[in-house]
């Protein structure tokens, strides 16, 4: 069991997950047991389910020579007030959390998930923080399983914390979608900083008018994204992003693990990985293959997305008037 979770291994929370995914054979011989964690989701009646293997940490990749420098990327455009506006009605219309809106069932589900992640990131209640736990990779096995949806909702939810700020990084370089989903204009981003040593990555971070939330775009498209990520400059940039703001939680929205290779390299630089599993669609074999590719991260949890029912019949949010 995840030492940061107050959820016990027995009970309805894990029944649905255990029916869908049997990790017994895959985990034989591992030094640690599976790690369950609650999970939110898109459906009206979500079923948080989760478990997680403890794979051996992969070896650090050998750095490639630093890429040749080019002209510095321009700074992202911001509003007159210095912060980019995020349309709250657009968030609500597209089923994202509205930070100023009412407490919904989905809002509550992400509260549960973030609490486990923050406990691992910061420690507390007698638990030690996970190394680099403030860096969280959001991934999935295949496209269209909800990883970007979950990454944005989780970022908005954590941004509401009084002691944490969130940097949402679009690390899906081939098909970036964070800016377009949030209604923001294209801007230079992480790949521009990786490709040009004269670019300060902090100059590319976009502050939004959602208090505590900033965004780092993916940047210029390239067919060498994995090679740039495997270079030593990646570790330097991520360390800089962490060092510049100790209160910062960094969420990476990565490409699907079985569709593109950057996810496996990014896993080496984070302390936690949240694998989004689409209920009734993600197969057991695909999930196992994806988890093997992410073995560079030792703390992986599963988030069951688009579940159709709750075996307990519970529905978060009704206490606040939602769904009454």
Q: 2-35, pLDDT tens digit by residue?
A: 444 433 333 333 334 444 555 444 434 443 333 3
Query: If phi over 0 gives left and psi between -120 and 50 gives alpha, with beta otherwise, what is residue 82?
Result: left
pLDDT surpasses 90 at 74? no
Residue 215 neighbours by CB under 8 Å, 6+ apart = 84, 167, 168, 169, 170, 178, 179, 182, 184, 205, 206, 208
User: pLDDT at position 45, please?
Assistant: 40
Length of the chain: 324
Element at 277 (helix H, strand E) = strand 272-278
Where are the chain's structural domains?
A: 12-320
CA distance 130 to 120: 5
Average pLDDT, the chain: 79
**Angstrom distances, CA of residue 227 to CA of 127, 129, 167:** 36, 30, 23
In the structure, what pLDDT confidence band is assigned to residue 265 with cuts at 50, 70 and 90? very high
pLDDT (tens digit, 9 = 90+) per residue, 290-303?
A: 999 999 999 999 99
The DSSP secondary structure of 224-270, one letter per residue, reads: THHHHHHSHHHHHHHHHHHHH-TTEEEEEEPPPTTT-THHHHHGGG-
CA distance 266 to 244: 20
In the structure, what pLDDT confidence band is assigned to residue 320 with cuts at 50, 70 and 90? low
- Tell me how far the alpha carbon of residue 203 is from its chain's centroid: 22
Structure tokens at 148: 């970007």
How far the first Cα of the chain sits from its last, in Å, is 34
pLDDT (tens digit, 9 = 90+) per residue, 130-159?
A: 999 999 999 999 999 999 999 999 999 999
pLDDT (tens digit, 9 = 90+) per residue, 90-133?
A: 999 999 999 998 888 888 999 999 999 999 999 987 788 999 99
Please say whether the beta carbons of 150 and 305 come within 8 A: yes
User: pLDDT at position 124, please?
Assistant: 82
User: pLDDT at position 37, please?
Assistant: 43
Element at 280 (helix H, strand E) = none
pLDDT (tens digit, 9 = 90+) per residue, 32-67?
A: 333 334 444 444 444 344 444 444 444 444 443 444
User: pLDDT at position 63, please?
Assistant: 42
Residue 309 neighbours by CB under 8 Å, 6+ apart = 45, 47
pLDDT surpasses 80 at 283? yes
Name the superfamily (CATH) of residues 12-320: P-loop containing nucleotide triphosphate hydrolases (3.40.50.300)
pLDDT (tens digit, 9 = 90+) per residue, 172-203?
A: 999 999 999 999 999 999 999 999 999 999 99
DSSP state, residue 59:
P
CA distance 165 to 178: 18
User: pLDDT at position 35, please?
Assistant: 38
User: pLDDT at position 6, please?
Assistant: 39
CA distance 148 to 154: 10
CA distance 64 to 270: 20
């Amino acid at each position: 069991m995840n030492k940061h979770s107050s959820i016990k291994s027995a009970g309805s929370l894990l029944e649905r997950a255990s029916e869908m995914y049997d990790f017994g054979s895959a985990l034989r011989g591992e030094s640690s047991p599976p790690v369950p964690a609650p999970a939110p989701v898109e459906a009206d009646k979500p079923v948080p389910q989760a478990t997680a293997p403890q794979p051996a940490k992969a070896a650090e990749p050998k750095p490639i020579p630093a890429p040749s420098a080019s002209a510095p990327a321009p700074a992202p455009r911001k509003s007159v007030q210095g912060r980019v506006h995020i349309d709250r009605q657009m968030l609500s219309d597209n089923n994202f959390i509205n930070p100023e809106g009412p407490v919904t069932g989905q809002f509550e589900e992400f509260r549960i998930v973030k609490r486990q992640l923050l406990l691992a990131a910061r420690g507390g209640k007698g638990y030690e923080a996970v190394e680099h736990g403030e860096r969280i990779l959001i991934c999935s096995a295949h496209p269209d399983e909800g990883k970007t949806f979950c990454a944005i909702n989780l970022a908005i939810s954590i941004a509401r914390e009084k002691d944490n700020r969130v940097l949402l990084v679009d690390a899906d370089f081939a098909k970036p979608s964070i800016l377009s989903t949030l209604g923001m204009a294209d801007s230079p981003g992480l790949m521009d900083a990786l490709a040009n040593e004269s670019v300060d990555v902090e100059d590319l971070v976009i502050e939004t008018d959602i208090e505590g939330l900033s965004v780092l775009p993916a940047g210029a498209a390239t067919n060498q994204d994995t090679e740039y990520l495997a270079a030593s400059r990646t570790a330097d940039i991520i360390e800089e992003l962490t060092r510049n703001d100790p209160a910062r939680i960094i969420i990476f929205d990565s490409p699907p693990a079985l569709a593109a290779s950057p996810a496996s390299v990014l896993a080496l630089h984070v302390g936690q990985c949240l694998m989004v599993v689409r209920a009734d669609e993600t197969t057991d074999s695909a999930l196992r293959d994806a988890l093997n590719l992410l073995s560079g991260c030792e703390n992986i949890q599963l988030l069951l997305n688009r579940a159709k029912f709750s075996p307990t019949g519970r529905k978060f949010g009704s206490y606040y008037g939602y769904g009454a």
